Structure 1
Amino acid sequence: MSEPLPDHLGAYPLPTLPALSVPDPRSLLDPDPQPPRNGLRCGNPQCGWQVGAPFPGAPTRLTGYCRNCGTRYSLRPQLKVDEQLDNGRYRVLGCVAHGGLGWVYLAEDTRLKNRLIALKGVLNPHDPRARAAMLEERDRMIAVTHDSVVRILDYVTHPGEQPVDYIVMEFVGGRSLREVIAESGPGGRPFGPRGPALTLDHVALYGGQVLSALQALHDRGLVYSDMKPDNVIHHGSRVVLIDLGGVQRAGDTARPPVITHGYASPEVAEGGGPPTVAHDVFTVGRTLAELVDAVAEPPAAGLGPTSLRRLLERATADQPRDRFTSAAEMAGQLDGVLRELAAAGTGHRHPAPSRVFTPTPVLLDDGLGAVPGLAHWQHRERAQYRDPGPVSPVLRHGRPEPFRVAVGLPVPVPHRADPAAAALRTLTPRDARGAVRQLESLLGPAEESGYGSVEVLLHLCRAHLRTGDSLPAGDAARAVERERAAARLARAAEALDARVPGGAAHDWRIAWHTGLCHLAAHDTAAAEREFRRVHAALPGEYAPKLALGYCAEQRDALADSERLYRAVWACDPQPDSAAFGLARIHLARGNRDEAARVLGLVPAMSLHSDAARIAALRIRAARLSPGPEGLPDADSLLTVLRDLPQAAPALDAGAGAGAGDGQEHARLTAELREWALDWLRCVRRDPARAADRERLPELASELFCGRGTGGPGPQEPPTEQALRTALAQSFRDLAPQSTDRALHARLLDLSHAVAPRVWFRNGGPGRAAGRRR
C-alpha cells in the first residue's frame, strides 16, 4: 500500500544546512607544517624538474638549488609565529595548511580588535610564475562579492632577502566537505555528536550554494577549475569556496590549468583543453557524487533519489554539450530535486514555479470532476429502475484521452535568445486557429524554410495540436492538424541542426514536442521514450514527470505512475492534474477513501479546486464496481452530507451551461440519489451490511429522504420509498433542462419508472381486487 499524501497544503520552508559550531581556530595550527610530499616544479620556466622531492633513505631538502638548472628554491613557510606585517597590523599566529600554490597562515588584525584573518603566500618565493599567479588571483577576485566565495580583504608585501607578497582574506572556520565525507558512513555524525547524519537533502543544499558561487564567477568570465570536496568549507549554515588559486579566465590557454584528477572533466584532464563552464559543471557533479556515496542512511521514499542520480549523470556526461549549459541551469534543476527530497522527508509540499515550463489552464481529467450532463441518462432503460440489479452505472475514473493530454501539459518557456521571444509574449489569440494565423504572421522566408525562429515553429506545432483537439474525435481533420504539427516540429529541428550540427538531438525541446505529437497520435509508448529523454535533461522539473505519470498510467503501471504523480504533487504550485491522476490510481485499486482524500487536499487557491471538490463527492457516493462490494459504506455517505454544502456554491455559480440557475446542482443531486438508492437496497438485503443498517438514522437528510414526499421527512431515516420518490422528483426537475424532445421524454419516463408503486383497492363486498398505478 502506498504512503498517504501529506495533509499539509501550503508551501513550507525548505530545509537548511545544520549550523556548525566553529572550533577555536588556534586548534587548527600545524606545529610542523610540511610542503607537498612530492615537491614542486622548479621555478625556472625553462626547467621543469621537481625540487624538494624526497630521495629514498634521505630526508627531504626544503631549501636548496635545482639539480638541473641551479635555480634557488625554498619550500619552508616564510612567516614565523608572532611575526608582523604591514607595520604591525597583522600578527602571525602560525601556519594552518597549504593549498595548491601557497602557504596559508592564521593571523590577527590588530587594528580591528584582533579579528582573525588568513594570509596566503606562495609555496616557493623563488618561483616567478607562482608569484604572478597570486597577483592574478588578487586582481581577479578582489571584486567578487558572494556569500559562498572567500573574501579578499587586503594585499601586503613582507620585506626580506626575498620579498614575498601575501593576500589577506577572511578566515573561514568549519569543516571541509572532505571532512564531512570522512566522518559520514554508518553511525557517523559529521555535523557534531548531536547533529544529524549526512542526507541527500544536505548534498542538494551543498550543491545549490556551490553552484551559486560558481555562477558568480562565470558571470565575470571566470572559471574555478579545481572544484573538489577539499576546497569547500561548511561554515556555520553555509558553504564557502576557498583556495582560489586555480581561478582563471574561461578558455585561457596561456596558463596551465589547476585541476585534480578524479574531479576534472575528460576534455581537460585527458585532452589538455582549457577549463570552461562545462568543466566546472563536471567538477561539481563529481564532488556531489562523492557526497552521495557517503550517505549511509537509506533515502526517504519517493522519486527524489532517482532525480538526483539523473542530475549527476547529466552533470558528469563525457561530452560537454550533454551537460548543463550553466551553473545556474544546474542549480535550478537541483532546487527542484531538493523539493522532491524534502517533501518525502518532511511530509510537506514544497512547490515553486518552474523557470522552464508554464502551466496551462487544462485539467487532465475526463469528467471525474464535472457534474454529468443530461446525456448521462440518455440511454437508460425503465427496467434498470425496477429490476433487482444496479440502478446506477459504475463511476468512470476519468482518464483523459492522449490527444487531450498533449494539449494540456505545461508549455515550455520560450528561449530568451530566440529572436521572436519578445513578440511571442505579446500574442493574444482567441482560439487555436487564431494562434496559428498570428504565429504564421511572424514567419518570413527564412522561417518557412526552417532556419529562422525555432520558438515560432514550436509554438505553431502546439497551436496545430490545439486546433486538432478542438475538433470532434472522429473528424479526419484531426489527423491533418497532427501532420501539420509534425511538419512544424521537423522544421524546428532542421533550424537547430543548421546552427549547430546535431543540435536537435541534444535539445530537450525537440524531444518534448516529439512526445506531444506521439501522444496526439495515441502512441503513448513512443511518447514515453521522448519524455524520458526530457526527464534525463531536466530531472528537477515537474512537467516531464506529469507526462511520464500519464504514460505509465496508460500502460497500467500504477506503481510507477503513482511515484511520478506524487513527485509532481510535491513541487507543482498547481497540482490539480497530479491529484486527479493519483485519484484515478487509487480508484483502479478500489481505494475509495484515499482517492477522495487526495482530491480534498487540492489547495483552495488552485484553478480546479471546485472540480476536485465535486470529484471527491462523487467518489464518496459512487458505485465503483458492479457487485455489492462496489458500493460505499455509511461513513462515505455521511461525508457526502457533510461536504455537499461546501460544494453547492460552486455548483450554483458554475462555469458551464446553466451556470447560476442551479442546473448543475440538480444533476449532481440526481446522480447522488441514484447511488444512494443502490446502496439502500443493498443494505436492506445484505447480511454483511448490518453495521450500515444501524447507521441509517444518521443519514436523515433532504438529499436522501426528499421533502414533501408523503414518506419520511428530512429528519427521519431514509427508506427505499422515500429515495424513489426523491429520485423521481429529480428526474422531473431535469427534464426542463433538455432542449431535445426525445431526451425530455426519456427523463420523464425514468421518473415514472423509479417512482414507488402505488396500489388502489376496489371491488364489491366480499372481494377485493388490486390495480397498480
Structure 2
Amino acid sequence: MTECTDTDCTGVIDDGYCDQCGMAPVVSEGIVPAPRAAHAPENLPTAPAPAPRSPAPSRGGGRAAAPEPDSGASSDEDGRSGADSAFDGTASSSGRSPSLRAPRLSTSSGPRAHSGRGSSGAAPSRTGVPSSRGLLGLGLVQVPPVPYRDPASAVLSDPVVAEKNRVCGHCGDSVGRSFDGRPGRTEGYCRSCRTEFSFTPKLAPGDLVAGQYEVLGCLAHGGLGWIYLARDHNVNDRWVVLKGLLNVGDAEAHKTAAAERGVLAEVEHPNVVKIYNFVQHPDPRTGVPAGHIVMEYVGGKSLRDLLVDHRERDPGADGLPVDRVIAFGLEALRALGHLHSKGLLYCDFKPDNVIQSEEQIKLIDLGAVRRIDDMVAPVYTTAGYRVPERELRHHGPSVSSDLYSVARCLAVLSFRFDFARTYEHDLPDADQVPVLRRHPSYDRLLRRALQPEPQLRFQDAAEMAEQLTGVLREVLSDLHGRPHPAPSGLFGSEHPLFTSGNLIRVIDETDRLLGPPDPGRAAAALPFPLVDPGDTAAAQLFGLAAVPDEELVATLEGDAGPTPETRLMLARALIGVGRREEAAHQLQEFGARAPGDWRPFWYWAVMALGAHECPDARDRFEELFDHLPGEAAPKLGLAAACELTGGLADAERLYRTVWLTDRSYLSAGFGLARIRLAHGDPAGAVRVLDMVPELSSVYIAAQMAAVSVLVTDRDPGTLSEAVFLDAVARLRRLGLRGEAANRLNARVLRTALDWVLAGYGPKNRHTRLLGGPLTEVGLRTNLERSYRERARITTDSARRRELVDRANAVRPRTLL
C-alpha cells in the first residue's frame, strides 16, 4: 500500500483507492457517494429511447439535440434561430455599434455555455482544468454519524409489497390491487399484457443459497428485487445481502438483472456498495434457478429515513440542515462522477438509494444503471426525481439527467414542497422557501441543474461539484460567521486596489474607494478567468498574465497564428486600453471557435461595466451568477452593477456574501463599507474594515480608511469623545510617520474642532487629543502645528502656500 497523493489526506491507497478520502491515487475527474438496500418500488420503466439524433450546434456544448420540427423552437424577433444569433446578440438601448452587439450567456433561443467542455462522464469542469474541490463536506461540515445497525434487527417481520407499489414489470400498469373488498393478489398475470407477476419472497429464513449463504429474512423490497440478509459461512460468518429478481417470469427483469450483474462487476469504488458474488438458487414454486447478487451489508439509514427522523424530532423543520445536505450532495456527485467516467449512467438517483452508515455514505441499488450509449434498454426512474418524460423519450437519459436527479434530491432534503405533483419539474419561488431566500447561490445552483433544456444544465459531475463546493463555503460562512476561503478553480485573484509602498497614494485611493463608485475602476478590479492549460500557447500566456495592458496588446497583436487563448487574452488587454471595437472582434472570433466556453460572456459583461453601460452589465452579470453560482467573481461584478444602478440592497447582500466568505476580495469589503456609509452607518462601515486581518498586506490601508470613516463628513451630533479617541488609538497602533501621519492627524483635529465649535465638548476637561487639550484653543494650536509641519516638508511650492494659508486661518486668535 502507498500513501494517498492528496497532501491533505492521511490515508493509504488500498485496492486502487484511498481508504480515507476514497479517491484514486491520481487526480480523479469523478465524484463519490453512498449505498442503500433496495430499489424503490415506485420505479416505472420508460419506453426505450430511439436512436440518437445528430446533435445541433450549441453554445452549451455537449449532447445538445436539434429541435424537433414541431417543437416550437423559439427564435429571435427577426426570425433567426438561436444557433444563428448565438454570437450576434441583441442591440442594446445604449446605441452601441453593430460590432459591439454582444451575445447573451442565456437566451430564450439558445443554450447557455457551460463551464466545462465535456458532454458526458467526468469531463474537465472549467476551461479544460480538472476540478480541485472535493471530499465530504470539505471536512468542514459536522455530519452526525449514523450508528451501525445490527443486521438482525433490520429484518422485516412481515415482508409484503404494498399494493400501491405493485406494478407490472413489463408495461407499468397496476397489478395485485384490492377490488370490491378483496385484498390484491401477490401473484398472477397482468391484465394488460399478460406478463406474470409475483411479489412474494423467493427465499425463506434458513434457506442455504449456493451452499454458502444462510438466509435470515427480508430487509427491503423494490421495483426490481427483494433484498435478503444472510450469513456467509465461508467467510467468517460475515453479514451479506442477497438481491434477487422480483419476478422470475419477467423477461425484462431478467435482462435488467443481467445488465446489473455486468455493471456491478465493473464498478469498484469505496463509496459504492461492494459486490462479492453472483449465485443462483431454485425458485421454490417452479424450480427454475433464479439469480442473486451477493453484496456487502451496509448498516445505516437512507437519506430519506434521516429526513423523516429529523422531522419527527423537530416537527417545525423544513428539512435537514442545508450544510449537511450539500455535504451529502458532494459525496453523491463523486460517486456519480466515477460511474460517468466508466461510461455509465445511474438513472435513478433519490434519497432512498443513498445510505449513511457511521460517518460514510454509499450508493446502493445499481439496478437502473445503464451505459451512456445504450439507447435500447428500458429506463427505470422515479417520479419527482426524473427529467420530463419528453426528454427521456426523445433523447434518453444522460449525464445531465443524472445531475438533474441530484438537484431534485438536494431540494427534497432541504425544504418541504410538493415535489411529485405541483413542482414535479420545478421549484417554488425562492421568496416562499426560507433556505433559498437566505442562500441565493444555493437557489441558483438548484435552478441551473433543473433547467428544462438539458444544454442549460451542468454537463458533468465535477463541474456541478465545483460550484456546489463554492456554495457550501458561502453557506458555512453565513451560518458560522467566519470565512471559509479557497482559491477559485476558474478565476485568478482580484486585482490590487492599492499602490504598494506609497502611503500618501494609499490614502487617496481609500478616499476614492469610499466615495461614489466608479464603473471603470470597478471593472478593472474584477478577477480574470484562468487560461486553459490545454491551449498550445498556455505556457507563454501564463508568463504574460501580469504584463501591463499596453505592453500585452503590443506583444499579442504581432502573433500571426493566434490560438483561442491568445485571442481571449488579447481581448482582455484591448478592453483594458479602451479599444472596445477590436476587443469585440476578438471575442466574437473566440466564441466562434469555442462555443461551449463561458469566458467571452465574462468579458462582454466587464466591457459593458467599464463603458458605464451599467444596466446592460447588470443583466450580463446576473446571467453569469446563474451559470456560476459558487464563484465570487460574478457576484462582485453584479454587486458593482447593482450599486451603480441604484440597487443598494442587492449590492449590499452580494458584497456581504463575498466578504464573509473570503476576506481576500477587498473590493467586496470596501463596497460593503461604502454602502453602510450611504445608509448613514459609519460604525457599520468601520466594523467591515476591521475585518481585514492584521497579517493582510492591506491591513494598514484598511485601518487608515477606518480612521477616515470615523472623522470625515460626519454630522457633529453623531460624534463623541470616544470616536476621536478611537481614531487616535488606531493611528498610534499603525505607527505612521511623515506626511501620511500628518494628513490623518489633521483630519482628526479638523473634525474635532468643528465638533467643539458646534457646541459639543468632552465630558472631562482634561481629555487630550494628539498631545493637546480637547478644547478650541488646544485643537487650533495642534492643527496649526500640523499644517505648518506639512508645509515645511513638502517640495511643491503651491502646496506649501496652501498649507501655510490653512495654518494661518486656523491658528488661535490672540491680541498680538
Partner of 1:275: 397
The alpha-carbon distance between structure 1 residues 253 and 678, as it changes in their structure 2 partners (threshold 3 A), is same
Higher helix content, 1 or 2? 1
1:437 paired to 2:554:
yes
The 2-side partners of 1:730 and 1:524 are apart by 42
1:29 paired to 2:155:
yes
Instruction: Could you list the structure 1 runs, at least 4 aligned residues long, displaced by more than 6 angstroms after superposition.
Output: 48-52, 64-73, 295-303, 372-376
Deviation per CA, 1:410-429: give whole Å up to 9, x if none: 22223455554444323255
1:753 paired to 2:813:
no
The 2-side partners of 1:537 and 1:396 are apart by 29
The alpha-carbon distance between structure 1 residues 696 and 465, as it changes in their structure 2 partners (threshold 3 A), is farther
Deviation per CA, 1:434-474: give whole Å up to 9, x if none: 22233335562xx5xxxx51x33332222123234xxxxxx
The alpha-carbon distance between structure 1 residues 142 and 639, as it changes in their structure 2 partners (threshold 3 A), is farther
1:99 paired to 2:168:
no
1:293 paired to 2:415:
yes
In 2, are the aligned partners of 1:95 and 1:105 still within 8 Å (CA)?
A: yes
In 1, are the aligned partners of 2:635 and 2:654 still within 8 Å (CA)?
A: yes
1:635 paired to 2:722:
yes
Deviation per CA, 1:277-334: give whole Å up to 9, x if none: 0110111122222223328999879965322221111111111110012112112222
Partner of 1:119: 242
Partner of 1:697: 766
Shift in Å at residue 527 of structure 1?
A: 0.6
The 2-side partners of 1:758 and 1:343 are apart by 59
The alpha-carbon distance between structure 1 residues 299 and 604, as it changes in their structure 2 partners (threshold 3 A), is farther
**SS class of match (1:246):** coil
**SS class of match (1:406):** helix
Partner of 1:528: 618
Shift in Å at residue 345 of structure 1?
A: 2.2
The alpha-carbon distance between structure 1 residues 604 and 396, as it changes in their structure 2 partners (threshold 3 A), is closer
The alpha-carbon distance between structure 1 residues 407 and 221, as it changes in their structure 2 partners (threshold 3 A), is same
The 1-side partners of 2:712 and 2:436 are apart by 30
Deviation per CA, 1:519-561: give whole Å up to 9, x if none: 1111111110100001111112221111222222223332222
The 1-side partners of 2:507 and 2:209 are apart by 90
The 1-side partners of 2:401 and 2:466 are apart by 18
Q: 1:249 aligns with which of 345, 360, 371?
A: 371
Shift in Å at residue 77 of structure 1?
A: 2.2
The 2-side partners of 1:49 and 1:552 are apart by 52
Q: How many residues align?
A: 661
In 2, are the aligned partners of 1:406 and 1:465 still within 8 Å (CA)?
A: no
Shift in Å at residue 597 of structure 1?
A: 1.4
* Structure with max Cα Rg: 1
**SS class of match (1:531):** helix
**SS class of match (1:286):** helix
Partner of 1:130: 253
The 2-side partners of 1:542 and 1:173 are apart by 40
The alpha-carbon distance between structure 1 residues 59 and 743, as it changes in their structure 2 partners (threshold 3 A), is closer
Q: Looking at both structures, which has the greater relative contact order when contacts are Cα pairs under 8 Å and sequence separation is at least 6?
A: 2
1:323 paired to 2:457:
yes
1:424 paired to 2:541:
yes
In 2, are the aligned partners of 1:145 and 1:151 still within 8 Å (CA)?
A: yes
1:409 paired to 2:530:
no
Deviation per CA, 1:7-51: give whole Å up to 9, x if none: xxxx996333232334443333223333574756578xxxx7979
In 1, are the aligned partners of 2:319 and 2:415 still within 8 Å (CA)?
A: no
The 2-side partners of 1:39 and 1:293 are apart by 29
Partner of 2:439: 305
Q: Which stretches in structure 1 are left out of the alignment for 5+ residues?
A: 1-10, 377-393, 469-480, 498-502, 653-661, 706-716, 761-773
Q: What amino acid maps onto 2:615 in structure 1?
A: A
Deviation per CA, 1:79-131: give whole Å up to 9, x if none: 2112223433x221101122332211112234555432211122223445534
In 2, are the aligned partners of 1:198 and 1:295 still within 8 Å (CA)?
A: no
Q: Let me know the Cα RMSD of the aligned residues.
A: 3.6
In 2, are the aligned partners of 1:374 and 1:738 still within 8 Å (CA)?
A: no
Partner of 1:500: none
Q: Which stretches in structure 2 are left out of the alignment for 5+ residues?
A: 1-136, 419-430
Q: 1:647 aligns with which of 728, 734, 749?
A: 734
Q: 1:144 aligns with which of 252, 267, 270?
A: 267
In 2, are the aligned partners of 1:212 and 1:328 still within 8 Å (CA)?
A: yes
Alignment of 1:597-616 (within 5 A): 597-616=687-706
Partner of 1:666: 742
Q: 1:720 aligns with which of 770, 776, 781?
A: 776
The 2-side partners of 1:238 and 1:190 are apart by 27
What percentage of residue pairs aligned between the two structures are identical?
Answer: 38
Partner of 1:263: 385
**SS class of match (2:744):** helix
Partner of 2:591: 493
Q: What amino acid maps onto 1:634 in structure 2?
A: E
Partner of 1:679: 755
Shift in Å at residue 68 of structure 1?
A: 9.9
Shift in Å at residue 359 of structure 1?
A: 1.4
1:595 paired to 2:685:
yes
Shift in Å at residue 758 of structure 1?
A: 3.7
**SS class of match (2:487):** coil
Deviation per CA, 1:687-737: give whole Å up to 9, x if none: xx3xx5214534x25x252xxxxxxxxxxx333333323322322332355
In 2, are the aligned partners of 1:575 and 1:602 still within 8 Å (CA)?
A: no
The alpha-carbon distance between structure 1 residues 617 and 465, as it changes in their structure 2 partners (threshold 3 A), is same
TM-score, normalised to structure 2, is 0.73
Q: 1:465 aligns with which of 555, 568, 575?
A: 575
The alpha-carbon distance between structure 1 residues 395 and 441, as it changes in their structure 2 partners (threshold 3 A), is closer
In 2, are the aligned partners of 1:304 and 1:338 still within 8 Å (CA)?
A: no
The alpha-carbon distance between structure 1 residues 304 and 544, as it changes in their structure 2 partners (threshold 3 A), is farther
In 2, are the aligned partners of 1:29 and 1:94 still within 8 Å (CA)?
A: yes
The 2-side partners of 1:375 and 1:550 are apart by 20
Shift in Å at residue 752 of structure 1?
A: 2.7
Q: What amino acid maps onto 1:628 in structure 2?
A: P
Partner of 1:76: 200
Partner of 1:228: 350
The 2-side partners of 1:302 and 1:64 are apart by 48
Shift in Å at residue 62 of structure 1?
A: 4.9
Partner of 2:660: 570
The alpha-carbon distance between structure 1 residues 639 and 85, as it changes in their structure 2 partners (threshold 3 A), is same
1:154 paired to 2:154:
no
In 1, are the aligned partners of 2:495 and 2:526 still within 8 Å (CA)?
A: no
The 1-side partners of 2:281 and 2:812 are apart by 107
Shift in Å at residue 742 of structure 1?
A: 1.9
The alpha-carbon distance between structure 1 residues 59 and 755, as it changes in their structure 2 partners (threshold 3 A), is closer
Deviation per CA, 1:469-517: give whole Å up to 9, x if none: xxxxxxxxxxxx23333332233333345xxxxx5xxx54233222111
Deviation per CA, 1:576-615: give whole Å up to 9, x if none: 2211111111111221222111101112343422211111
In 2, are the aligned partners of 1:154 and 1:167 still within 8 Å (CA)?
A: yes
The 1-side partners of 2:413 and 2:670 are apart by 37
The alpha-carbon distance between structure 1 residues 539 and 491, as it changes in their structure 2 partners (threshold 3 A), is same
Shift in Å at residue 745 of structure 1?
A: 2.1
The alpha-carbon distance between structure 1 residues 13 and 259, as it changes in their structure 2 partners (threshold 3 A), is closer
My pick for the range that moved more, 30-39 or 166-175, is: 30-39
Shift in Å at residue 224 of structure 1?
A: 0.5
**SS class of match (1:318):** coil
In 2, are the aligned partners of 1:251 and 1:275 still within 8 Å (CA)?
A: no
Q: What amino acid maps onto 1:80 in structure 2?
A: A
Partner of 1:351: 485
Deviation per CA, 1:231-283: give whole Å up to 9, x if none: 22233344322111111111311322222233222366552433210110111
